[in-house]
Amino acid sequence: MNPGALARVELPCHDPPRLHDFYGRILGLPPAGPYGFLLGAVELVLRARGDALFPLSAPSGGGGVLLALPVPEEELDRWHRRMMTTRVAVLEAPGPGGTPPRRLRVADPEGNVLELFAAP
């Protein structure tokens, strides 16, 4: 038995408009509804905290996610420059060209980690 492919990720947040700006304007993800974006076949939905599923207070030190997205190798350094110029918190810069793993890790405005990695 297999439940099928992942269809949706709901990302709990305290400030949906701020995260919407990050994922839409900074990352350029295509919109899917007022607080949703498309990541290939998966919908990323920004969901305000404050209900039974996502209470207002996250457990201390927890509640964050890491989203990993492939980008063409030749675009990874361009993404790094974009994050620096838009003052996004860079957690891990890509290593020198050809040194695996080539990835960029940044924090979104609520501390979730976004990893852009060089697709083979």
pLDDT tens-digit series, residues 48-58: 988 888 888 65
Q: 34-40 contacts: CB < 8 A, separation 24 or more?
A: 39/9, 39/67, 39/69
The larger pLDDT score, comparing residue 59 to residue 97, is at 97
Domains in the chain (CATH in brackets) are 1-51 (3.30.720.120), 65-120 (3.10.180.10)
- At residue 19, what is the residue type? L
Mean pLDDT rounded to a whole number for the chain: 88
pLDDT of 92: 94
> pTM for this structure?
0.85
Does residue 62 carry a pLDDT above 90? Answer: no
pLDDT of 64: 82
Name the phi and psi angles at 25, rounded to 5.
-80, -45
Residue 4: left (phi > 0), alpha (psi -120 to 50), or beta?
left
